[in-house]
Structure 1
Amino acid sequence: MKKLLYAIVVLFSTTALMAQTTVTGTVTDSESQQPIPGANVKVVGKSLGTSADFDGKFTLEVSENPPFSIEISIIGYSPTTVEITQNSQDVNVSLTEIATSLDEVVISASRTPERIMESPVTIERMDVRAIKNSSSPTFYDGLENLKGVDVNTNSLTNKSVNTRGFATFANTRFMQLVDGMDNSSPALNFALGNLLGMSELDVKTVEVLPGAASALYGANAFNGILFMESKNPFDSQGFSVYGKTGLTSSTNAGDNQFVDAGFRAAFAFSEKFAAKASFSFLNGTEWHATDYNQYIDNGAGNPDTVLPVQPGQTAFNQLNVYGDEVAIELDYDALAGTPAGTFGKSTVSRTGYNEEDLTDYEAQSIKTDISLNFRPMGDDFEIIWNSKIGKGNTIYQGANRYNIKNFFMQQHKLEIRNNNFFVRAYMTDEDAGDSYDMLFTGVNMNLETAPQWYQTYATTYIGAISGMIPGVPAGNPDVANNLARQNSDAQHTPQPGSAAFNTLFEKITNDPDLVTGSKFQDETKLYHADGNYNFAHLWDWADVQVGGSWRQYSLNSNGTIFTDYDGPIDYNEYGAYMQLQKKFADDRLKFTGSIRYDKSQNFDGNVSPRISFAYSAGEDRNHNLRASFQTGFRNPTTQDQYIGLDAGQAILVGSAPDNLDRYTSKPLELSPLGQLIVSAPTVQLSGRAAYDNSYTLASLYAFAASAGAGAPDPSLLEIADFAYVKPEQVTAFEVGYRGLIGKVTVDMSAYYNTYQDFIGNKTVVSPLYGNVDFSDVIPSPPLPTPTPAALVAISQGDYQPFQVYTNSEADISSYGMGLGLNTKIWNGYNVGLNYTWSKFDFDQSSDPDYEAGFNTPEHRVKFQFGNPNVFQNFGFNVNLRWNDEYLWESTFADAIIDARTVVDLQVNYTVPSIKSTFKVGAANLLGQEYLTAPGNGLIGSQFFASWTINP
């Protein structure tokens, strides 16, 4: 590997530096006298450096002649400087562990290094030490143990991180940056967890910034940001490898083995050239989704009514069953030629396919990261080429359930930086691979044989109910229906595992036309450039930063997701910002003011200010009080603007003005009366019908209820008047305290957010003919009395549901608080306890059709207890999480999610002689299986064992 990386570097230059001075040494912990692997050793003022090995030993070869100084540092310890006065000097350095995490340095809060203690806003942090001690199967899972952080499990490989409410698997209100690059899917506008992210061997720090941060980070820095920074090959050298295996275990999925392995290789070939490569591979089995109940919508703000399939029921729509949405009304008398009422009629659904039939549930993640680093002057000025390439399988739940299979995403970045500025540009390219919509797979597999199936069903039913089938009692509808379904399924429903099933499944999942297939086709790209300059080294009176960004989306789904039927849809966003920091009162009071302007091609410009004050009190400045006012905004996503997708139960149409006429629905069948009025068996609607000619869903329910009571009241139908979607905004107020009280570190905060123009879906119904204002009337005849055409359409069921993208006019606010306590007891045992309270206010009556989707428990408690060195080379850690029940709202289903208690545990043992750390652990040790959302896989336990060499 070293030779390979060296060959790559030689392409850049043939310059080599001959070492003249050699320094050796050992780095240990000042208290335990244990070696500190990975400590950075660097020549002061130069980029020359190396890292301590597993035994804490290092060898530094440099071209410098003594005297010069070296700095030894590592996260979690105070750095030390040593003077080198001669060649072949041997130094022994003891580093002192930072007494409190409040002394650790973060960057994301203000785009400049500062102690957590002095940060003007709430921030959570995880570093290499925390990753080593994590009781979770991966470092990304371990984020859930941070204060105020929620991790919603979509699948084994797809986790959605969220802070401060309004959680969703498609979390477009939360950003994820990996080495400064937005890790979101360009088409979906949210990150697929760490499916295509970072190997844990290469993680330097992870910072979570809860709440609004648009003043520095622009659009979509709305509800929080996750920053992941990798190790620089100049500073962290060597070869590391890990292997991990174990079992996932749940009632529905059984016991399934998983494997997770990877390596990292990093070398500095000189003071000017360094390179690294990392690779990781994970393969396992997803949690199985097996909810076969029916969810009956009770309207926004209410959980759905959950009903199992009843004996004798002929029409149903089970949650994790796909294809039973195919249903028609069979008029047995019309088919048999008998008088009306002889055999009657009923609505009959096809027998659907369970989700388990439509996916192999293979979870997979393959990630590669290559970086070439050039420091032409041997100092902090650095040119970086970075490529991140990932491929994987996962499950995603949105409006439907999607099997994301062989999904491919790559990012390529060129960055120029030093301690005072950076300029970078990167491209994100994705390919949906063999992904498909599981609902449409079941629906279109059943539509393929629907005529034959229903013919057999009707023939069998009529024969059975009339007593014409030997051995079948006449006049029993339940028996007749059961026999009809058995015969039809046997003849016309290919069974999973059969050759006929496999052939039909391959045909449907490789067809990107959702009228006949289910393939998820996408090759969307994103281009982004941004830069920042800090004038602090030039001006003493204040720390001033300026920066800006430009982004272009290039949507390319070939008309399967977006309305890009005739080629990619391109649109741009750009922004600029400035920040000023100034300290007063003997540097105890720090003022931070920021302002940013952003403009998207389809929307008016947006200004985002932020003001904060932080005051360090106490003789040792160990008590920090902070207060901030900040704003955030979120541009409508690519889907909010340009989607054109028939999702089965509703058509999703984005509201960009140039999108409405591009979308045209598939042919929609009319009732017999509708065919007479329109003089055609079907009609097609444009996307404009959803916004310009529709009724609200709540008013349709009211009208249907009046009709069911025998007195239909057309005045109850309310015309939907929803504006086109525009950016949503949040205004956030926060106060907090960080400090050291005795030996206890205290971090507490409280916030209040108000939202304006909250983006969301609203379901409307558009009549297949007629104007919703009743301006066109069908005369008599053909109707008994003149009647508005739209009223006829609604009464006959001739309407099409749409999900439109718009903004709520209701007042929505959220508020909460967090409290974290950490200390050490019994000479080295870490104890942590944190509590988060989250609440939101929304008057449902002010916007009956709107689902706010807060999707967050009101109360959450997390507890941690462990010791990385109980005795020599042995450590352990245990984490406990509890939250109360909460309402989950989504387009898939609404339900109350039960309270849960989850315990994770790990023990680890280090063997210095082979430079190895062994770890065994369990996530959800108690085995209390739980859901994070209705329709999702039931999450069980995960047991693991790992071996890491030279971590």
Structure 2
Amino acid sequence: MRTITLVIMLFFGIITTAQTTISGKVVDDNNQPIPGANIALQGASVGTVTDFDGLFTLTLEETPPFTIIVSSVGFETTNVNITSSSSDLTITLKEGTELDEVIISASRTPERVFESPVSVERFGIKKIKTTPAADFYDGLENLKGVDINTNSLTFKSVNTRGFADFANTRFVQLVDGMDNSAPALNFVLGNLLGMTELDVNSVELLPGASSALYGANAFNGILFMTSKNPFDHQGISAYFKGGITSQEASGDNEYYDYGIRIAHAFSDKFAAKANFSYLRGTDWFATSEVSVSDDIITGTRLDPNYDGLNVYGDEVSTNIRGVGVALVNLGVLPAGAENLLPNEEVSRTGYLESDLNNYKAESIKFDAALHYRPFANDFEIIYLGKVGRGTTIYQGANRYSIRNFFLQQHKLEIKNDNFFVRGYITDEDAGDSYDSRFTGININRLWKDDLTWFGEYAGAFAQATLAGQLPEQAHLIARQTADTGRLIPGTPEFENAFNTVTTDPDLATGSKFQDASQLRHVDVNYNFSHITKDFADIQVGGSFREYKLNSAGTIFTDFDGPIRYSEYGVYTQIQKKLVDDRLKITGSIRYDKSELFDGNFSPRLSLGYTAGADRNHNIRLSAQTGFRNPATQDLFIGLNVGRAILVGSASENLDRDVRTFDLSGDGQLLTGSSTADVVGRQAYENSFSLNSVLAGNPTVSNVDLVEPEKVVAVELGYRGKIKNFVIDLSGYYNLYTDFISTENVLVPLYGEVGDGTLSLAALQNGDTEVYQAYTNSDVDIKSFGGTVGVDTKIFGNFDIGVNYTFTKQDFDENEDPDFRTNFNTPEHKVKASFGNTRLFKNFGFNTSWTWSDSYFWEASFGDGNVPSFNVVNAQINYTIPKLKATIKGGATNILGDEYFTAFGTGFIGSQYYIGVSINNL
């Protein structure tokens, strides 16, 4: 026993003497502390970070001499040789440039921005803290090449290189490696259910195609958000912001946003963290009452067939003379009275969007993570759970009030420096969401059915005409008569009807948006660089995804149970440096396969050359392909949105969408039936081109079933430093084939298109229905553009940056007049920023300016011009070191010129805020 005790004591003594403790402070050139700086042992995954005062302590099981690497975003990395234990180190970091920052997204391996093989934008902690935007996600707007379309206060859609709408299925957002898109929607609801500001470690954005490494939907760009590891970033941090939003339509309304982060490493093996944030405000009111008819803005509210943009319920219309004929046949009106009625369409009276929406904006986010390092090294097991609930507005085919939308994600990941295996599940619940258009339509119908309302209108019009009234006055009298007793917003009767309709998922009588879809996803990656580094850096990986669509037949054609389908992909990448490490060659290729389509290869080849005696210039050239599988809605939707019926083109979907329509009197005589059944397949196989009918020359639509979309992208770029100027410029050219979009067609309720008789009679009698089909363009679509950004310092330590973006599509509408590309992007955009993080002791400021060219917005909700606009944001901040706190006040759109980024949304006003953050490293 004594011998064993001596051996144990000797072993313990060896371990004790092998430990080395170093401590000190990390400061900048002005001797100001740098919080959150990383201190790591060279060649190992052991390290720590500095606290708010720039202080650190690091204990290592190493004996000197050894080297530590000290780094921080915005500063040049430095190596410090340690020869003995020390407790008074002072390490000074020189301020660096964005080119020195390390990214992972471009090649799935750490590399400097300077050497990235493709264009990449990084939004680090320094930029997040100094952005004048109200939150970090809005601050992405100032990155070059980035467009942010504002759907509502809490729902912003990020896009790059054109073809943008709010259902942006060409752009991917990854949060800690998890696709943040809602499974049924196939797109991201901005940061409504994303990441809390306190936990953001870095944001990286790759514009353009990234399918070679990231798969099918990384088609037009990909956004990466990574959170802080609780081993490296510990403690309790919090923030609170409060202020107002100001808009001419809604007035001044309170706004507040607060959050807390708690992280702790219980040992060198186990750490945990939790985040919570809550935001509440009032959304931007959408109040446009312009009349929309056949996508052309015409008329006023005095028009009998008025259909207002942000007015709902007035989409229901009928030919008033046809109603008169029916009333005469029923004996309600005397014979010949139908001749007193005009041969024109009349619509029901609608409700303003503000009558149907309280414009509450809310976001609640919570996540918790457990990190376990069983061997106290870089091998790590992570569980992450995220839940979020939000209330916002989404504009798609209609305007949807997203209320208490719930999204949860659960991830299990095993990784080290060379590999990761990641699996996660995403589950959504639409909560109390509803369709504003059908809310208006069905409140009207709940009060008075269409037949009764139009009958009263026709009878009153005929009587007014017999009394000698002119048509304009007769229409007014008829509407007043039919609207007698109409439900008035704010009354108990209206509220009861509203609650009845918005809790009913059947669009024939209600408007509830019902969905509980899921996706399951697995990613694997292995980097062989530690084995093959003498030859090249080699990676292999793959992914598998399964969708489970579950809307109970309210959105998709899943009447008899959930719809399931899956897809998988595998990839490899080889990266090699040559010519004294100046030439960097990167080659990648990926194969993806959906069970619904043939497989597809996506190769990428890029060359990067570092020039100059100081290696300050890098030229990059890349050529790659990307592809996109049709989204869930492209395939399986079956939804009547009022102006059109959306029907997905998956072969098994076409016969599941069956609808029954009433026929006109003449249609009944021709067919011998009062109704007609239409199957979704007819939109693709028996329909007229809508544009040809409107032009008076009906032709067959010839709509093909949707196939995967492909792009070939070529990019040439330069990054470099010339004296005090950092320059980053790039140009690109994209060629799209089988471009996915929609085509509106007109389905006759009887007859075969091209038969020359019966189907044309259906057109003449108005016995048709508009369908929106999902298809591919037969014409190649091209886009091209470029960006240039310049950053420098002036007057000593004032930061100034300017960037310009040019984006343009090349599509001849005459070649395919029925096809809609939804480019929705300004041709020219200029952005600038000016600030100083240390104007004087503990005080800084920052401003930003954005100018956007005018552009035409084209989407299923409505088409219209978006005028050019200027936006100026500004913030000031003051740090209180003793309290480890920063006070920040700012304003967005301080010029007060209201604007909008999409046709049909609310005008964006100003936002004023003041906030404090504590211990936010």
Q: TM-score range by the shorter chain?
A: over 0.9
In 2 relative to 1, CA 753–501 (structure 1 residues): closer, same or farther, beyond 3 Å? Answer: same
Query: CA contact under 8 A between 2:117 and 2:622: conserved in structure 1?
Result: yes
Q: Deviations over 1:309-352 (max 9, x none)?
A: 154x2221111000011223334583431534763245332110
Aligned to 2:501: 508
- Matches of 1:601 and 1:240 in 2, distance apart? 46
Equivalent residue number for residue 672 of structure 2: 679
Does residue 1:693 correspond to 2:674, yes or no? Answer: no
Indicate if the aligned counterparts of 1:20 and 1:61 stay in contact, CA closer than 8 A.
Answer: no
SS at match of 1:683: strand
Q: What does 1:11-26 align with in structure 2 at a 5 Å threshold?
A: 23=21, 25-26=23-24
Which residue of 1 is the match for residue 736 of structure 2? 755
8 Å CA contact retained: 2:806, 2:828? yes
- Report the alpha carbon displacement of residue 664 of structure 1 after superposing the two structures with TM: 0.8
Task: Identify the match of residue 835 of structure 1 among 801, 804, 810.
Answer: 804
Identity of aligned residues (%): 55
2:768 is the counterpart of 1:768: no
Cα deviation code 1:270-322 (max 9, x no counterpart) = 1110111111111011111111011233xxxxxx43224154x2221111000
> Whole-Å Cα distance in 2 between the matches of residues 523 and 862 of structure 1?
40
2:239 equivalent among 226, 239, 242: 242
What's the CA shift for 1:487?
A: 3.9
Residue equivalent to 2:6: none
In the alignment, what sits opposite 1:147? 144
> Equivalent residue for 2:11?
none
Residue 636 of structure 2 corresponds to residue 669 of structure 1: no
Amino acid at match of 1:681: S
Q: Given the alignment of the two structures, is residue 649 of structure 1 paired with residue 649 of structure 2, yes or no?
A: no
**Partners of 1:950 and 1:693 in 2: CA distance:** 65
| Structure 1 residues 18 and 153: alpha-carbon distance in aligned structure 2, compared to 1, 3 A threshold | farther
Q: Is the 8 A contact 1:878 1:906 kept in 2?
A: yes
1:48 touches 1:270 (CA, 8 Å); kept in 2? no
The answer to whether 1:111 aligns with 2:102 is no
What residue is the counterpart of 2:310 in the other structure? 320
Contact 2:625 2:710 in 1 (8 A): yes
Cα deviation digits, residues 834-858 of structure 1 (max 9, x gap): 1111111111111010111111111
Instruction: State the match for 2:757 in structure 1.
Output: 788
Contact 2:337 2:462 in 1 (8 A): no
Which residue number in structure 1 is paired with residue 298 of structure 2? 307
Question: Is 1:192 the equivalent of 2:173?
Answer: no
Deviation digits for residues 573-613 of structure 1 (CA, Å, limit 9, x no counterpart)? 00100100111111100100001100001001000000010
**How many Å apart are 1:74 and its aligned residue?**
2.4
Amino acid corresponding to residue 317 of structure 2 in structure 1: A
Counterpart of 1:438 in structure 2 is 436
Relative to structure 1, the CA distance from residue 44 to residue 329 in structure 2 (aligned partners, 3 Å threshold; closer, same or farther) is: same
Q: Which segments of 5 or more consecutive residues in structure 2 lack a partner in the other structure? A: 1-14
Q: AA paired with 2:273?
A: K
Give 3-state SS (helix, strand or coil) of 1:427's partner.
strand
How far is 1:49 from its partner?
4.5
CA shift in 2, pair 1:19/1:791, >3 Å: farther
Could you tell me which residue of structure 1 aligns to residue 30 of structure 2?
32
For 1:948, the equivalent position in structure 2 comes to 917
Contact kept, 8 Å, 2:198 with 2:237, in 1: the verdict is: yes
1:631 to 580, 602, 625: 625
Which moved further from structure 2: 59-68 or 411-420? 59-68
Count of aligned residue pairs for this structure pair: 895
Give, in whole Å, the separation in 2 of the partners of 1:67 and 1:164. Answer: 51
- In the alignment, which of 139, 151, 159 is matched to residue 162 of structure 1? 159
Deviations 1:755-790 (A, max 9, x none): 00000100111110111131xxxxxxxxxxxx7211
Q: For 2:567 and 2:887, locate their aligned partners in 1 and report how far apart those are by CA, in whole Å.
A: 48
Aligned residue for 2:529, secondary structure, equals helix
The normalised TM-score by structure 2 is: 0.94
Deviation at 1:356, TM superposition (A): 0.5
The one-letter amino acid paired with 1:289 is A
Name the CA distance, whole Å, in 1 between partners of 2:752 and 2:787.
52
Structure 2 counterpart of 1:381, one-letter code:
F
Q: 2:535 aligns with which of 532, 541, 559?
A: 541
Could you tell me how far apart the structure 2 residues matched to 1:508 and 1:30 are?
Answer: 61
1:463: how far off? 4.5
2:569 alignment partner in structure 1: 575
CA shift for structure 1 position 236? 1.0
Asked whether 1:453 is paired with 2:434, we answer no
Preserved CA contact (<8 Å) 1:48 1:234: no
What residue identity is the alignment partner of 1:319? L
Equivalent position amino acid for 1:184 in 2 = S
Residue 734 (str. 1) matches residue 728 (str. 2): no
Q: Is the 8 A contact 1:49 1:234 kept in 2?
A: no
**What is the 5 A alignment of 1:534-933?**
534-539=527-532, 540-665=534-659, 667-703=660-696, 716-774=697-755, 788-933=757-902
Q: Which residues of 2 match residues 227-626 of structure 1 at below 5 A?
A: 227-297=224-294, 304-309=295-300, 311=302, 313-331=303-321, 334=328, 335-337=332-334, 339-340=336-337, 343-345=340-342, 347-448=345-446, 449-450=448-449, 451-467=451-467, 474-491=468-485, 493-539=486-532, 540-626=534-620
CA–CA separation in structure 2 for the residues paired with 1:96 and 1:50: 16
**Counterparts of 2:25 and 2:669 in 1: how far apart (Å)?**
88
Question: Deviation at 1:626?
Answer: 0.8
* Residue 934 of structure 1, CA deviation: 1.1
* Cα pair 1:523 1:557 within 8 Å, conserved: yes
Equivalent in the alignment of 1:128:
125
Moved more, 748-757 or 791-800: 791-800
Within 5 Å, give how 1:1-80 maps onto structure 2. Answer: 23=21, 25-42=23-40, 49-60=47-58, 71-80=69-78
State whether residues 652 and 802 of structure 1, in contact with CA within 8 Å, keep that contact through their aligned partners in structure 2. Answer: yes
One-letter amino acid of the structure 1 residue matched with residue 469 of structure 2: G
Q: Indicate the larger mover: 140-149 or 477-486.
A: 477-486
Q: Which runs of 5+ in 1 are unaligned?
A: 1-16, 298-303, 468-473, 704-715, 775-786
Task: Deviation per CA, 1:68-89: give whole Å up to 9, x if none.
Answer: 76544322233455566777x4
Match in the other structure for 1:12: none
State the TM-score, normalized to the length of structure 1: 0.91
| Larger mean Cα displacement after TM superposition, 42-51 or 438-447 | 42-51
The one-character-per-residue Cα deviations of 1:113-146 (angstroms, maximum 9, x if unpaired) are 1111111111111100000110100110000100
Amino acid at match of 1:543: D
Task: Measure how far apart 1:475 and its partner are.
Answer: 2.1
Using the TM superposition, give the Cα deviation of residue 44 of structure 1 relative to its aligned residue in structure 2, in angstroms.
Answer: 5.4
Counterparts of 1:246 and 1:490 in 2: how far apart (Å)? 43
Structure 2 Cα separation of the partners of residues 158 and 402 of structure 1: 12
1:461 offset after TM fit, Å?
Answer: 3.8
Mean Cα deviation higher: 458-467 or 677-686: 458-467
Distance 1:931 1:75 in 2: 34
Distance 1:761 1:342, change over 3 A: closer
Which residue of structure 2 aligns with residue 14 of structure 1?
Answer: none
CA, structure 1 residues 342+751, in 2 after alignment: closer, same or farther (shift >3 Å)?
closer
Contact 2:341 2:458 (8 Å CA) reproduced: no
Secondary structure, counterpart of 1:501 in structure 2: helix
2:608 maps to amino acid: A
CA distance in 2, matches of 1:21, 1:941: 57
Residues of 2 paired with 1:351 and 1:182: CA distance? 42
Match of 1:203 in 2: 200
